[in-house]
Amino acid sequence: MHRLLSRYAESIYWLARYVERAENLARILDVNETFSRDSRGWQNWRSILQINRDEERFFEHHDDADADSVIHFYTLDQRNVSSIISAVNLARGNARTLRPLISTEMWIQLNMFSNTLKTMPREALSEPRLARFCNQVKEACQTHTGITEGTFYRDESWFFYQIGRAIERADQTTRLLDVKYHLLLPNEETVGSPLDVSQWNAVLRSAAGYHAFRRVQPSGMTQADVAGFLLFHSRFPRSVKACVHDISNRLSHLRSTYRLIGGAEALEELDELRSVLDDITIDQVIDKGLHEFIDWVQLKLIRIHSELGAAYFGYPALSEQGQAAD
């Protein structure tokens, strides 16, 4: 049995994370464009900076957090390591490192995706066209996922790919919920209003969860319904609970099948997170504070990522060697 090099394990893990990150950022921008149509549109765009903790970096180059500036910052701005184009370029860079392992089809599609973004003019991002751009990004990321599913060899690298994708997906689902939370803060009397319902509807659609949600909840839509679905519904693949269970199962399989040393600390963190997600109810979460619970989940995911890095990628806990986890 050939052992997977640490640098290959790290590259495939980050390849998955960056592709998932690009897709989820496109989803968040798409749903925020819907939010921005109300009277607080300017504030809605600034909330994306707050959620991603990018305000300081953004205002180094911009005076105002208007729609045009924030959209460009998170799409085609290569100075921003959190932008879609940066995520795709980093995915491509990791794919280049992995040429001996990944399929030709995976490499060609990622290379074409990256080149398309590099040649895209800023005019393609104006608000009326933003939905089309976001759809293009989502479709390209989903194409990558399909090609990977159909062509990537099932060895250790496959498990690292799946773990990376699930960690990123869980983190981004919590961020998507936080978008809605931040927008509600200044105007809590709108809870339960038609605007509130339409925004929760948009959150579900941005997570590709609307139709799955309607299978569980054929009518009605409340904060508890949607947040509970995205956090705890184990049969929805983008829910936090489904992702955390997937990470735990993949890591356990990786350790037992390939007899990898390390990862016990990550499994301990996962066990604690799984236990809470299995036992707590959405009503209890809302009573204690949805935002606070999301923050706690995100911190656990950061610790899991850190322990994986220390165990398998050769860098200290909480260090990413220049790769952005937030």
Mean pLDDT of 187-205: 73
Residue 75 has φ and ψ, to the nearest 5°, of -115, -70
Q: Judge if 306 and 159 occupy the same domain.
A: yes
Domain contains 323:
no
Q: State the helix-helix crossing angle for 240-258 and 264-279, rounded to 10 degrees.
A: 150
C-alpha angle 2/256/277, rounded to 5°?
130
Band the pLDDT of 325: cuts 50, 70, 90. Answer: very low
* Residues 95 and 144 sit within 8 Å (Cβ to Cβ): no
Is the pLDDT reported for residue 1 higher than 60? Answer: no
Q: Judge if 122 and 225 occupy the same domain.
A: no
- Dmax (CA) for the chain in angstroms is 62
Domain contains 325:
no
Among 267, 84, 234, 265, which Cα is nearest to 163's? Answer: 267
* Residues 82 and 74 sit within 8 Å (Cβ to Cβ): yes
Q: What is the pLDDT of residues 135-193, one digit of tens each?
A: 999 999 999 999 999 999 999 999 999 999 999 999 999 988 887 766 544 455 566 67
Q: Judge if 89 and 235 occupy the same domain.
A: no
Amino acid present at 312: Y
Q: Which of 152, 174, 195 is where one domain is finished? A: 152
Domain contains 326:
no
Q: Which of 119, 152, 185 is where one domain is finished? A: 152
Q: Judge if 123 and 216 occupy the same domain.
A: no
Q: Which domain holds residue 124?
A: 1-152
Q: What is the pLDDT of residues 4-63, one digit of tens each?
A: 899 999 999 999 999 999 999 998 888 777 766 554 555 678 878 887 889 999 999 999
Q: Give me the torsion for CA of 18, 19, 22, 24, rounded to 10°.
A: -110
Q: Could you tell me the two tokens for 105?
A: 């089809």
Strand boundaries in the chain, DSSP class E: none
CA distance 67 to 44: 9
175: which residues sit within 8 A by CB, 6+ positions away?
A: 24, 28, 51, 52, 298
Number of domains in the chain: 2
pLDDT value of residue 159: 97
pTM of the model: 0.91
Q: Which of 152, 182, 213 is where one domain is finished? A: 152
